[in-house]
Amino acid sequence: MTNPTAAILVIGDEILSGRTRDSNLHFLAGELTRIGITLREARIVADIHPEIVAAVRALSGKYTHVFTSGGIGPTHDDITADAVAEAMGAKIGHRADAMALLQAHYDRSGLPFNEARQRMARIPDGASLIDNPVSTAPGFTLGNVHVMAGVPKIFEAMVASVLPKLTGGPPLLSQTLRVDRGEGEIATSFGALAAEFPDLSMGSYPFIQNGAHGTNLVIRGTDPGRLDQAMVKLTRMFG
Amino acid sequence: MTNPTAAILVIGDEILSGRTRDSNLHFLAGELTRIGITLREARIVADIHPEIVAAVRALSGKYTHVFTSGGIGPTHDDITADAVAEAMGAKIGHRADAMALLQAHYDRSGLPFNEARQRMARIPDGASLIDNPVSTAPGFTLGNVHVMAGVPKIFEAMVASVLPKLTGGPPLLSQTLRVDRGEGEIATSFGALAAEFPDLSMGSYPFIQNGAHGTNLVIRGTDPGRLDQAMVKLTRMFG
């Protein structure tokens, strides 16, 4: 049995221009690993309607789940909801449930529920809302696409709302052995070990520290017993 | 005239599992913006041969340049060079020029130039080598695909070798106005300003600081005069 798969689609010119460094991808990657959903791909696209539509279609057809980040606020560059609706063949408009949530929020805060803010109630037909405990404006799940805000604090709160509803497989476990040798020295025996344990995934991650080459050897898998067996052999080789 | 476009393809299970946070994408984004090449898309895929082949083909056909990061070391999970060769329809083998570079490097360091290390001389026919001043093993450029190492220090050195050879357009300039108001308050006038300057790109990036909502309003474009005109109007609105 293989675990469900996922992709994340980050929407935002500000990441691609180098202005902002994305953190949502890294956060989601850790959370999905923990609950046994395998993140297989990430994409970042600009705030361009047809680009978002094409990416949502491609990823939605290929993976169990797609998570999007960004572009669901009140400004003119927030075009994700409409693009996701188009990609999934759904109609979109100001939905009554989202309008009611936002109306109550702005009534409480005394701010006008103006036309721009009402844009945040644009939710595709058939979508279920994702709770936003930080600033009320909801995300949504449409088919296998989970649409969330880009502000990290809100994205993380929305992930916490969504993940308990998803079914994962056994969590992906990993163990790491750090060796103070370059990859070229350990490659042959490490490759042989990887071939001996085809049910595990083994990766080699070189680094340079204080001018010296070192390597982190990482073994991943869902069966803790097999992971331990491989780790014993690895430690005997290089420990 | 529009600027040349680019995509980055990061290859690595370790990013998708949440073990490592990628930094190469953010670094490259900043460098490309500076030299007037527009980064339009980023993808991260796992160490899976057909996935890398498909992504290289898709991106290479769509953008002026593709930059890849990761998977060109000596271990069994380093499969990028072979995947890029297949995607671009090139043959690949241990190339004499790369073998000579590496042989000289290991002769100097007194380490054996073993079979694993020789894998790093696998370079596609027709590719030109990218200099690696940190650890010698070269990257390569094949067609419009620039293949570089994943270790940030080496990636950055390779980017420094490659970029001076590329032709960019006018650099993309940006100015930012930070306002202590939520997006919902500024959205309508900011959208109107964006419509008034269709040659500029305007983005709104909300944040939460000490529990209060604020927004960074960013104007981007290549003409400094137009940028200043828009910025004067923006500051008059919200400054």
- pLDDT of A212: 86
Mutate to test the interface with A, among B11, B16, B25 (most CBs of A within 10 A): B16
pLDDT digits (tens, 9 = 90+) for B103-112: 999 999 999 9
* Contact state of B73 with A208 under an 8 Å Cβ cutoff: no
User: Mean pLDDT score of chain B, rounded to an integer?
Assistant: 95
User: Domains in chain B, start-ordered, CATH in brackets?
Assistant: 5-165 (3.40.980.10), 173-238 (3.30.70.1980)
* Contact state of A206 with B73 under an 8 Å Cβ cutoff: yes
| pTM of the model as a whole | 0.95
- Which chain A positions have a beta carbon within 8 Å of B175's beta carbon? none
Q: Strands across the sheet with B173-179, in order?
A: B173-179, B212-221, B201-209
Residue B139 has pLDDT above 80, yes or no: yes
| Minimum distance, in Å, between the CA of residue A67 and any CA atom of chain B | 13
Q: Is B110 on the interface with A (CB under 8 A)?
A: no
Per-residue pLDDT, averaged over A19-45, amounts to 95
Residue B1 has pLDDT above 70, yes or no: no
Query: How many contiguous H segments (helices) and E segments (strands) does chain A have?
Result: 9, 11
Could you say which of B75, B201, B218 has the minimum Cβ distance to residue A191?
B75
- Which chain B positions have a beta carbon within 8 Å of A17's beta carbon? 29, 33, 39, 172, 174, 220
Per cent of chain B over pLDDT 70 is: 100
pLDDT digits (tens, 9 = 90+) for A168-199: 999 889 999 999 999 999 999 999 999 999 99
Closest CA to B11 of B72, B62, B59, B63: B72
The C-alpha angle B38, A44, B80, rounded to 5 degrees, equals 85
Per-residue pLDDT, averaged over B173-179, amounts to 95
- pLDDT of A59: 98
For the record, the structure tokens of B71 come out as 């998977």
Could you say which of B26, B116, B194 has the minimum Cβ distance to residue A188?
B116
Give every CB contact of residue A81 below 8 A, 6+ residues apart in sequence: A71, A72, A92, A122, A123, A124, A140, A147
Helix, strand, coil share of chain A (percent; to 5): 45, 25, 30
Residue A204 has pLDDT above 80, yes or no: yes
* Contact state of B111 with A187 under an 8 Å Cβ cutoff: no
Could you say which of B40, B75, B135 has the minimum Cβ distance to residue A187?
B75
pLDDT digits (tens, 9 = 90+) for B193-205: 999 999 999 999 9
* Contact state of A13 with B114 under an 8 Å Cβ cutoff: no
Q: Is A218 on the interface with B (CB under 8 A)?
A: yes
